[in-house]
Amino acid sequence: MSNTLRIATWNINSLRLRLPLLTRLVEALNPDIICLQETKVPDELFPDTTLPELGYPHFLRKGMKGYNGVAILSRVPIKQVPDMPLWCGKDDCRHIAAQIDLPRGPLIVHNFYVPAGGDEPDRAINVKFGHKLDLVAEATAWFRAQPPRRAVLVGDLNIAPLEHDVWGHKQLLKVVSHTPVEVKGLLEWQSEGFIDAVRQHVPHEQKLYTWWSYRNRDWRLSDRGRRLDHVWITPDLTSNGFEILKDARDWPQTSDHVPVCVEVGV
């Protein structure tokens, strides 16, 4: 018997504005669990009557006014994992974790929104870059102290770690999201017990993106993408396959990120 869960992640860049697009996501990917980042909605304004109609009666959310915000929507019952760290001492709604009780034992789903990090890749002059590095380092230390098992970690991690996770490796070495110090940090975090559940299916010399800037008029033609959105699993789970919903980048009034979905053997 194989038990699987389809787990999707999407930086939706305003949940309220793009609520209609969630229907398309469900039709295209049929996920059991949807992890969202940049919901940009305070909890008291969360659309909690619409989500059950979409087929997701179970959800957790952690939102604030204007910025950031994460949510986990589920077809099956979930409960919030309590007592998670306040990363970098900030209560800025960048992480939420769910527990799903399954026949083989509980599964933990972590949903992260790592800071973008500003423009200048130098923490001496850009506190946002320092914040990004610090959050990644804190998360690394946290998972080192309590090694994950039966866990899935998803989110907009805002770092493209591999050469072919960006359109131009050399061009982007000094661009925030692909600098060596960020890449090193992200890979160290991943090495605390996780496997890249998407890249394991794709040769490393093949380009793979999940984000295309709004600033390119013809995003598909210029194809200056980056793989900023990730799905990691612990080795006691299996990644049976994945989908990067590139077509979502052409949806009306869409996000600059596209959804990523992995079918996980749990």
Partner DNA sequence: ATGGTGGGGTACCCA
Q: Which residues bind DNA (CB under 7 A)?
A: 13-14, 16-17, 40, 65-67, 115-118, 128, 158, 213-215, 217, 253
Q: Which is nearer to DNA, 130 or 241 (CB)?
A: 130
Residue 152 contacts residue 7 (beta carbons within 8 Å): yes
3-state secondary structure of 102: strand
What gap in Å lies between CA 242 and CA 261, rounded to an integer?
A: 5
* Shortest separation between residue 113's beta carbon and DNA, angstroms: 9
* Shortest separation between residue 263's beta carbon and DNA, angstroms: 27
* Shortest separation between residue 214's beta carbon and DNA, angstroms: 4
Q: Which is nearer to DNA, 163 or 256 (CB)?
A: 256
Two tokens at 72? Answer: 């986990």
Q: What is the dihedral of CA 233, 235, 238, 244, to 10 degrees?
A: 30
Q: Which is nearer to DNA, 118 or 265 (CB)?
A: 118
Q: Which is nearer to DNA, 16 or 201 (CB)?
A: 16
Residue among 65, 169, 85 nearest 134 (CA): 85
What gap in Å lies between CA 11 and CA 38, rounded to an integer?
A: 6
Q: Which is nearer to DNA, 14 or 240 (CB)?
A: 14
Residue among 266, 256, 244, 185 nearest 25 (CA): 244
What gap in Å lies between CA 153 and CA 194, rounded to an integer?
A: 8
Q: Which is nearer to DNA, 170 or 215 (CB)?
A: 215
From start to end of the chain, where are the E strands?
Answer: 4-11, 33-37, 58-62, 70-74, 79-80, 95-102, 105-113, 151-156, 195-196, 211-212, 225-226, 229-233, 238-244, 260-265
* Shortest separation between residue 116's beta carbon and DNA, angstroms: 3
* Shortest separation between residue 216's beta carbon and DNA, angstroms: 8
* Shortest separation between residue 22's beta carbon and DNA, angstroms: 14
